[in-house]
Amino acid sequence: MSLELQTELLGHTLQSPLILGSGPLSYSADGIIRAHRAGFGAVTTKTIRDETAINPFPHIALSGKDTMINAEKWSDLPAEQWIEEEIPEAKKSGVTLICSIGHTPEEVKHWIVPVDKAGADIIELVSYLPETIVPMTVKAKELTTRPVIVKLSPNWHDPVGMAKAVLEAGADGITAMDSVGPVLRIDIRTARPMVGGERGYGWLTGSAIKPIVLRYVAEIAALSNKPIIGMGGIMTAEDVIEMFMVGATHVGLCTAPILRGLEYIGKLHRGIARLLNDLGYVALADVRGVALKNLPQKEIADKFNFKFDRDACNSCMRCVQVCPYQARALSKDLEMELNEDLCRYCGLCTTVCKPGALRGEFT
């Protein structure tokens, strides 16, 4: 089972729709080249700014399965070093390079032309402050002919409104999204915060943020046909398909390759091929946006029907345990019993069944 991975992004042919997001793995040319060789379709640099970042200690921690909290800032290398050494060196590998520039229009003015000349294929703009992102987009479009992607923050008041505004200002695509925060975790052995940011605050990435990102990607997909890099909590092949189903054209990853290693990308490619085949799709492009028509404009007022596959059931009893109303029972001879008077059709039992033996289906 092989998957046609090659894809287009703003005039560039990518070896894969999986893009390495800006973060510690793309700290320099070395990291970028490793990611390119591991199979990423494009690699985004750590964010380039006027000042080099001085990060608090510690600044990255695991926060539950497949989720991290970080207080890491932008690049700790000077912009001049990116321009003179890291970008030209990285480009020798053949990587499609997205150069991240933050966080103000002045910094765009300082760095976009030299970054462009050094070999950037695409520019990504990022900011912590929503009021800077439209002026940054306008400035970038004025100064470069390279495609300009704008990265949105889920921490802004109205990310979809900002997507609309930057698209109107000429952005060629959207990356959705940055880390979610500020948030707090405490190490209970020391009673200290898990990361050393101001007030112990950090920003969440990985699995925990995926539903937030899915919601925004679905809304942004309705705004235009421009590329959307869906990024946030992509850990598995299922996550990739889900992000495409709400309208992403590419997916970005940062936490997954940190926690699972760069070699995980090959496994992910094979997993996507298998899953597409199981679901009856030929290519990832066929999946794009297929869920959007199923997002109801109004609440669903009709009950679903339960479907129980006795042969697939492994008697784990999860569906019985989680029912808040004690409505479900599994008899010794594997008959699934439902007390219709108690069942409120909340749906929870159907979502905890790992083998898919109990499902809710709409007619």
Ligand X SMILES: Cc1cc2nc3c(=O)[nH]c(=O)nc-3n(C[C@H](O)[C@H](O)[C@H](O)COP(=O)(O)O)c2cc1C
Q: Which does 46 bind (CB under 5 to 8 A by kind): ligand SF4, ligand X, none?
A: ligand X
Least distance to ligand SF4, CB of residue 67, Å: 25
Q: Does 137 bind ligand X (CB under 6 A)?
A: no
Give the E-state strand segments of 160-256 in sequence order.
173-176, 180-184, 186-187, 192-193, 201-206, 228-231, 250-253
- Among candidate residues 277, 237, 278, the one with its CA nearest the CA of residue 18: 237
- Among candidate residues 272, 160, 161, the one with its CA nearest the CA of residue 216: 160
Least distance to ligand X, CB of residue 130, Å: 15
Q: CA separation (Å) from 176 to 133, 234, 317?
A: 14, 12, 38
Q: Does 330 bind ligand SF4 (CB under 6 A)?
A: yes
| Gap between the Cα atoms of 247 and 251, Å rounded | 10
Beta carbons of 301 and 51 less than 8 angstroms apart:
no
- Which residue, 100 or 132, has its beta carbon nearer to ligand X? 100
The contact mask relative to ligand X for 9-38 (x = CB under 6 A, - = no) is ------------xxxx--------------
Q: Does 151 bind ligand X (CB under 6 A)?
A: yes
**Pick from 134, 315, 335, 361: which binds ligand SF4 (CB under 6 A)?**
315
Q: Does 109 bind ligand SF4 (CB under 6 A)?
A: no
Q: Does 232 bind ligand X (CB under 6 A)?
A: yes
Q: Which does 330 bind (CB under 5 to 8 A by kind): ligand X, ligand SF4, none?
A: ligand SF4
Name the DSSP letter for residue 209.
G
Q: Does 255 bind ligand X (CB under 6 A)?
A: yes
Q: Does 234 bind ligand X (CB under 6 A)?
A: yes
Beta carbons of 252 and 229 less than 8 angstroms apart:
yes
Q: Which does 358 bind (CB under 5 to 8 A by kind): ligand SF4, ligand X, none?
A: ligand SF4
Sign of the C-alpha dihedral, residues 15, 174, 71, 74? positive
Q: Does 100 bind ligand X (CB under 6 A)?
A: yes
Q: What is the largest CA-CA distance in the chain?
A: 73
Q: Does 351 bind ligand SF4 (CB under 6 A)?
A: no
The region of 11-19, 187-195, 230-238, 317-325 touching ligand X under the rule CB under 6 A is 230-238
Q: Does 127 bind ligand X (CB under 6 A)?
A: no
| Gap between the Cα atoms of 25 and 31, Å rounded | 5
Q: CA separation (Å) from 278 to 227, 353, 356?
A: 26, 18, 14
Which residues of the shown chain bind ligand X in the complex (CB under 6 A)?
21-24, 46-47, 60, 68, 70, 72, 74, 100, 126, 151, 178-179, 205-206, 209, 231-234, 253-256
